[in-house]
Chains A and B, each alone.
Chain A
Amino acid sequence: SSDLTQDPAVSVALGQTVRITCQGDSLRNYYADWHQQKPGQAPILVIYGKTNRPSGIPDRFSGSSSGNTASLTITGAQAEDEADYYCKSRDRSGNLVFGGGTKLTVL
């Protein structure tokens, strides 16, 4: 299957650590990227190639992967991290596959 599965919603207390996961068969062969989207804005890339952070993304964001599961971890979550997070990977044909998204609430 090329589907990626994410928990619809996750919450975290301010300053605590949260892990957002993404599961799918394609993740056994291809890395996941993670995209953050705030209301009314276009998404931005926060993690690519499993563990890499683009310039300007705080180092509290990190990525990891094991088997069919990719994870985005935010260590010391801030209020501004409240957003929707989408994992993205690819299939054997080079077509993109997105997870359904996780709405992160920072309490």
Chain B
Amino acid sequence: EVQLVESGGGLVQPGGSLRLSCAATGFTFSGYWMHWVRQAPGKGPVWISRTNNDGSSTDYADSVKGRFTISRDNAKNTLYLQMNSLRAEDTAVYYCLPEPAVAATTWGQGTLVTVSS
């Protein structure tokens, strides 16, 4: 069974840091590009970052560039997102997704990040 399990979210003050993890099972993790997507309350999903199969190529949305770092450990089938200098507008549920989408037809439950003082 394909599963994506995001973790590491929580309540953090503005300017703080968090490290999110995404544990993937049921598909060949190293064969897929992986993405982080976030969904703010009442809004649609927004792409924020991606990494290629081996982590040698990454990209970021302008809104998080310079503050967030994506990485992966193919030996552990795990994707990470290091988030620094967090802002109130980073408050959202964070999801990891493989591409092509067919690798995981159900999203994980996501991990909620709340940035507030």
Interface residues, chain A, CB within 8 Å of chain B?
33, 35, 42-45, 48-49, 52, 54-56, 84, 86, 88, 90, 93-101
Q: Which B28-53 residues sit within 8 Å CB-CB of chain A?
A: 33, 35, 37, 44-47, 50, 52
Q: Is the CB of A52 within 8 A of B37?
A: no
Across-interface contacts of B102 in A (CB, < 8 A):
45, 48-49, 52, 54
Interface residues, chain B, CB within 8 Å of chain A?
33, 35, 37, 44-47, 50, 52, 59, 61, 95, 97, 99-102, 104-110
Name which residue of chain A comes closest to B49, CB basis: A95
Across-interface contacts of A42 in B (CB, < 8 A):
95, 106-110
Q: Is the CB of B106 within 8 A of A45?
A: yes
New A-B pairs, 9, CB < 8 Å, besides A49-B102, A54-B102: A42-B107, A42-B109, A48-B100, A52-B102, A86-B44, A94-B52, A98-B37, A98-B45, A98-B46
Rounded to whole Å, the gap between the CB of B102 and the closest CB of chain A is 5
**What's the Cα separation between A100 and B33 when bound, in Å?**
23
Q: Is the CB of B44 within 8 A of A100?
A: yes
Number of A-B contacts (CB under 8 A): 62
**What's the Cα separation between A42 and B5 when bound, in Å?**
12
Q: Is the CB of A101 within 8 A of B44?
A: yes
**What's the Cα separation between A99 and B45 when bound, in Å?**
8
Rounded to whole Å, the gap between the CB of A48 and the closest CB of chain B is 5
Across-interface contacts of A52 in B (CB, < 8 A):
102
**What's the Cα separation between A48 and B101 when bound, in Å?**
7
Q: Is the CB of B97 within 8 A of A96?
A: yes
**What's the Cα separation between A4 and B59 when bound, in Å?**
19
Across-interface contacts of A96 in B (CB, < 8 A):
35, 37, 47, 50, 97, 99
